[in-house]
Structure 1
Amino acid sequence: MDNAKIQGLIQQLAQRNYQDMFANDFLLTWEKSDQHIQATFLVADILRGLRQRNISTRLFDSGLGISLFRDQSTRTRFSFASACNQLGLTLQDLDEGKSQVAHGETVRETANMVSFMADVIGIRDDMYIGKGNAYMREVAKAVQQGYLEGVLEQRPTLVNLQCDIDHPTQTMADMLHLINHFGGVENLKGKKLAMTWAYSPSYGKPLSVPQGVIGLMTRFGMDVSLAHPQGYEIMPEVEAIAMKNAAAAGGKFTKSNSMAEAFADADIVYPKSWAPFSAMESRTQLYGDGDFDGIKALEKELLAQNAQHKDWECTESMMASTHGGEALYLHCLPADISGVSCKEGEVAASVFDRYRKPLYMQASYKPYIIAAMIMLAKAKHPADSLAAMLQEGTARIR
């Protein structure tokens, strides 16, 4: 990307209405306006362009980015670290097992104690239905109170790195990948995207990726098809959001219990395992009650249920049924690859290997999306800040 292209993107950004993203959080994509979403994509592309030109994008001279991961993570963990570093923030991970949280410290106290000189807090809490997003909002409320009371010199921005409802950094990265892959957002209108369940030999995978995909992709006039076996339903309120988005954007949102039907003539496919909404509700209740025998019984039940649907696999024959036999394959990674990471899984090894480079490109957008979310929340005039970075041209490597 040359300087003229970057300058053009900055000019587009200056024309967007995104000012109320300043001093705000990013928790769910459907809480953000179309202008907010477009601004995030633009900033991410600009930051990527500056990086490619070896131009420094240090927005901060000092400050902390705090990360809290309540579930395992590779891509999102390192993407958040990369985003903070790119903007000039030092990263500090909050390990609850090594903190006073283990001794009963309250959310309000923890949130304020870790937020001195912190500019952003990234949280991943996706394991329990009704808990993750609610916890993030509790943290946000606590730091807002600390800021208003003068305890904190600045109010840290909260970024949802995956919760029980949505995975905004993932789906925004997915969407930016699609925009660039198809040569512009205008080329996505009418494209068919199949968001389908796929078999996994493990249980309890979060609902947030399929919910995030249908909650975001339906805003772009696409034909979004959600498919899963009976009994693997997602949150009905998110389906309602997808239906509303599709109607407003002139697209479609359909549901079926057939992977083949969803894949037929699809331009984009996203086969991904997830646990049934009702089962995730049960697991949350069992953990709340401390019923570990019940949890073991539920796990056994769900693994047996999964095993009934091993034919839900992204195979070569399934891919051949897509548009021109060349649909773009997406996955948030890691995928359960048949014959590689497991005996039978979500995707055939030959399919995964053929799309390995595009998958890595898909993942590469996440650090820039996260950095864009932070920048739009912390810089009063992001377009001016980015223009200054471009003009100054300070070399990242000297």
Structure 2
Amino acid sequence: MVSTPVEATSAAHVETAWKRMRYWVIAHAVDDFYQGLVPASIPFFVLERDYSYVQASGLALAALLGSALPQPILGLLADRWRMLWLAPAGLVTAGIGAGLAGLVPTYSLVWALLLLSGIGVAAFHPAAGRDARRDAGHSAMAMSLFSAGGSAGFFLAPALATPALVALGVGATAIFIPPAVLTGFVLWRHQLRRARNIAAPNQIGGRDRWIPFIVLTAIEVVRSVSCAGINTFIALYWINHLGSSQALGGIALTAFLGGGVAGTLLGGRIADRVGMLRTIQIGSVAAIPAFAALRLIPNPTPGLLFAMLAGVTVNVPFAVLVKLGQDYLPTRPGTAAGVTLGLAVSAGGLFVPVFGLIADSHGIEAVLTTVCFIPLAALVLGFLLPRPGEPTAPLRN
């Protein structure tokens, strides 16, 4: 079958974007793998060490606090100084903290190491977002590859870690330390090579527009709340409401996370064709019927398709929000990345207890019903976003 000129051009665009972004895609996947390793390992801490559910929630909170709270400050530092070492060092710290957590004997040490791992994640995102944008130029497709790397890492964590934890116990977290160290070293070498051609931090010319950025951050928080609600309760919905097996419930979660990777990549393609603001609106509109279908499907097996579709739609705006945030704060790309990639994404986890109260009071299906209405807020906010100003100076590559 002969490729059309449009198909050939599109394939070449993806290939070029991958060549520019491959270091950042892989590094983002490895870094966010450790964010996914924490929830994957918590059940094993409960089973092996008799931690209470409150203690288990405390471990999740430690990782969340570490990854969310420092990001704006680290973003400001990344915007003021080059600190090309920050992203590699953050990645290595994330891996060492999460990896050692399974080896230490006391709860307080586990908590501290997971907090340290979260801080490593926080250190990675602002600097990585800034320097990934440097390599991506103005391509939304290239930035979607970077964002999709993080989604893929989070998606792969339970798939890779669970068999090891089942076979070797919670101490198996240590076997995931070497990928962080190796990837951090490779990324550091990449940064040194790029530094030879870059005299100063890359920024887009123009003035910062804080009000649109705040609106955009609110959209990212809304998107994050939707994802957190489904991430946490979709398996339980499959098991307790649809009557499926535990294995099929896990597959439903996997389908949703896998759809998220595809949606992130799709969003970049759409944005390069129709624009970033239209892409946010498309994703917000499409998420509403996708969530409704997920809630109303009566059979768990065909419902897997709708779980994947929900993951696709809610993640279509993800990479666009990251890039657009940097366009609104052209002199502060690290701050923008720290907020959109870190703080706003993590904020969704703070709403999980609210979903838990809804589930306790009205049943697990009430959580999915509530999630159906959340994208309406993102849709309304999306129409308040102005078009980003054109950069006055090109990014240097």
Q: TM-score, normalised by structure 2?
A: 0.27
Question: Which is richer in helix?
Answer: 2
Higher relative contact order (CA 8 A, sep 6+): 2
